[in-house]
C-alpha cells in the first residue's frame, strides 16, 4: 500500500510527564502521570511522522530517549519503509532480544514511520493498510474506583455514549471486589458491558474462587487474573471460568502471542501496539488470532489503535484510556461510544506549548 519513497533525515525523541485526566490506581501499582516518549521522524522530502510510547514510569524515559537517539544514527539516510526498517532492526537485536525498552522504542519508531507515509500521501494509516476509517466500539477504561466517590465519573461515561466500562480490582479481599463490582453495576445499569482487570495479582485457585463469585454481575471478561507469563495458569482458569478470560497486553511480538494461543490461555486477546512491534508487528501477528477464532481488542494507544482495528480480523473493542490527550493539539473524540481513525497518517499533532510545559 506504500507508494511514496521517502528518506529519513532525522529521528528525535522528547520525554514528557503528561497529566492524566484520571490518574490510575491498579493492583500492581499506581500511575499518577503519563510518562511518554514523543517520537518524530523527519524526512528529506519535508513531511514529519509522529508517534509516542508509554513508559509506565518516568524512570524509563531517560533510557528510552538515549536508545532512540542512538538508533537515529542507524536509520538516518535510509528509505522510510516501515517493514524494511523493522526487519533490519529486528535482525540487529536478535541476539539480545527485543523485549522491554528495546521493543518499546522500535515499536514507537515503526508507528512514526507509518504516520510519515500517511502524511506524505495525504491518507490515513487505515487507508494505507487497505481499510477505511470507521467507528470502532470503545470501552471506557478506569483504574480502581470507589462507587461512591467516582459515581459521577462513571455516569459521565454512560452519558458520553460508552456501552462498556472496565474497572480494576484486586487490591483487597473477595468481599472488597464484590462490593466494588456491585456498586459499579448498580450505577451503570444492567445493559452496559462491564469488564474487570486483576492486573496479574492473583494465584490461579484464588482467581477461580473470585471469578465464580463475581459471575453474577454479568461480566464481559476478567483480565489478567494471574501473572501474564503464567500461560498454564491462564489456561487452567479459562477452562473452569464461567466468565471469558482476557489477556495479551504483555505479549511481546508475535511469538508471545503464538505461545499464548497455543496454550489456550485466553478466550479474548488485547495486544499492545507498543509491545507487538508497532503497526508492522501488529499486522504480522493478527492472523494468529483469526486462525484461533479469538476476538482482538486493543490495549492503550487510542489514536493508532483506531487505524489498525478496522483491518484486524475479529476486532472487538478499542480501549479508551487517554494517555496523550494533554500533549495533543486535537485529541480524538468519542462519538456514540466509538472512536474513528483520523488522518493524514495517524492523525496526531503535538500541542507544542503543552509539550514544553511537561518536558522532563
The band of 22, judged by pLDDT with boundaries at 50, 70 and 90, is: confident
| Cell of residue 289, nine digits | 488470532
In three-state secondary structure terms, 119 is helix
Cα–Cα distance list, 111 to 203, 273, 307, 308 (Å):
36, 9, 11, 11
pLDDT of residue 273: 98
Q: Which residue in 62, 54, 108 sits closest to 86, CA to CA?
A: 108
Burial class (CB in 10 A: 0-12, 13-18, 19+), 221: buried
pLDDT at 306 over 90: yes
Residues of the chain within CATH 3.30.390.10 domain(s) are: 8-122+353-358
Q: Which residue in 262, 261, 257 sits closest to 273, CA to CA?
A: 257
Mean pLDDT confidence for 272-288: 97
Q: Angle at CA 98, nearest 5°, toward 92 and 103?
A: 110
The band of 3, judged by pLDDT with boundaries at 50, 70 and 90, is: low
pLDDT of residue 29: 74
What is the rounded distance in angstroms from the CA atom of residue 322 to the CA atom of residue 141?
Answer: 9
pLDDT of residue 25: 81
Phi-psi region of 198 (alpha: psi -120 to 50; beta: other; left: phi over 0): alpha
Residues 6+ apart with CB under 8 A from 56: 31, 35
**pLDDT for 98-130, tens place per residue?**
899 999 999 999 999 999 999 999 999 999 999
pLDDT at 15 over 80: yes
What is the rounded distance in angstroms from the CA atom of residue 334 to the CA atom of residue 318?
Answer: 11
Residues 6+ apart with CB under 8 A from 102: 67, 93, 96
Tell me which CATH homologous superfamily contains domain 127-351. Answer: Enolase-like C-terminal domain (3.20.20.120)
The band of 21, judged by pLDDT with boundaries at 50, 70 and 90, is: confident
Mean pLDDT estimate for the chain? 96
Q: Which CATH class is domain 8-122+353-358?
A: alpha beta
**pLDDT for 158-216, tens place per residue?**
999 999 999 999 999 999 999 999 999 999 999 999 999 999 999 999 999 999 999 99
Q: What is the 3-state secondary structure (H, E, C) of 227-262?
A: CCCCHHHHHHHHHHCCCCEEECCCCCHHHHHHHHHH
Residues of the chain within CATH 3.20.20.120 domain(s) are: 127-351
Q: What are the catalytic residues?
A: 168, 299
pLDDT at 9 over 90: yes
What is the rounded distance in angstroms from the CA atom of residue 85 to the CA atom of residue 144?
Answer: 39
**pLDDT for 222-266, tens place per residue?**
999 999 999 999 999 999 999 999 999 999 999 999 999 999 999
| Cell of residue 263, nine digits | 496454550
The band of 2, judged by pLDDT with boundaries at 50, 70 and 90, is: low
Amino acid at each position: 500500500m506504500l507508494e511514496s519513497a521517502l528518506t529519513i533525515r532525522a529521528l528525535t525523541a522528547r520525554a514528557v510527564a503528561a497529566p492524566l485526566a484520571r490518574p490510575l490506581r491498579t493492583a500492581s501499582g499506581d500511575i499518577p502521570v503519563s510518562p511518554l516518549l514523543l517520537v518524530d521522524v523527519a524526512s528529506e522530502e519535508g513531511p514529519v511522522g509522529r508517534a509516542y510510547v508509554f513508559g509506565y514510569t518516568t524512570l524509563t524515559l531517560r533510557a528510552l530517549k538515549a536508545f532512540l537517539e542512538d538508533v537515529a544514527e542507524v536509520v538516518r539516510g535510509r528509505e522510510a519503509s516501515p517493514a524494511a526498517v523493522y526487519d533490519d532492526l529486528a535482525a540487529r537485536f536478535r541476539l539480545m532480544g527485543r523485549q522491554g525498552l528495546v521493543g518499546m522504542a522500535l515499536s514507537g519508531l515503526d508507528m512514526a514511520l507509518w504516520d510519515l507515509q500517511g502524511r506524505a500521501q495525504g491518507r490515513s494509516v487505515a487507508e494505507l493498510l487497505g481499510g477505511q476509517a470507521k467507528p470502532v466500539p470503545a470501552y471506557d477504561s478506569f483504574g480502581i474506583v470507589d462507587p461512591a466517590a467516582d459515581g459521577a465519573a462513571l455516569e459521565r461515561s454512560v452519558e458520553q455514549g460508552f456501552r462498556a466500562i472496565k474497572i480494576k480490582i484486586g487490591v483487597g479481599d473477595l468481599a472488597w471486589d464484590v462490593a466494588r463490582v456491585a456498586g459499579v453495576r448498580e450505577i451503570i445499569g444492567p445493559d452496559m458491558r462491564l469488564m474487570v482487570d486483576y492486573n496479574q495479582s492473583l494465584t490461579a485457585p484464588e482467581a477461580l474462587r473470585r471469578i465464580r463469585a463475581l459471575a453474577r454481575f454479568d461480566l464481559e471478561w476478567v483480565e489478567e487474573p494471574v501473572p501474564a507469563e503464567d500461560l498454564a495458569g491462564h489456561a487452567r482458569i479459562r477452562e473452569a471460568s464461567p466468565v471469558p478470560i482476557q489477556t495479551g497486553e504483555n505479549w511481546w511480538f508475535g511469538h508471545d502471542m503464538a505461545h499464548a494461543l497455543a496454550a489456550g490461555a485466553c478466550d479474548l486477546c488485547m495486544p499492545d501496539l507498543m509491545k507487538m512491534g508497532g503497526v508492522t508487528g501488529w499486522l504480522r501477528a493478527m492472523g494468529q488470532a483469526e486462525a484461533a477464532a479469538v476476538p482482538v481488542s486493543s490495549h492503550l494507544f487510542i489514536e493508532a489503535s483506531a487505524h489498525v482495528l478496522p483491518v484486524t480480523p475479529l476486532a472487538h473493542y478499542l480501549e479508551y484510556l487517554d494517555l496523550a490527550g494533554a500533549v495533543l493539539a486535537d485529541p480524538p473524540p468519542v462519538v456514540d461510544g466509538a472512536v474513528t481513525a483520523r488522518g493524514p497518517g495517524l492523525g496526531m499533532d503535538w500541542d507544542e506549548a503543552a509539550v514544553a510545559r511537561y518536558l522532563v
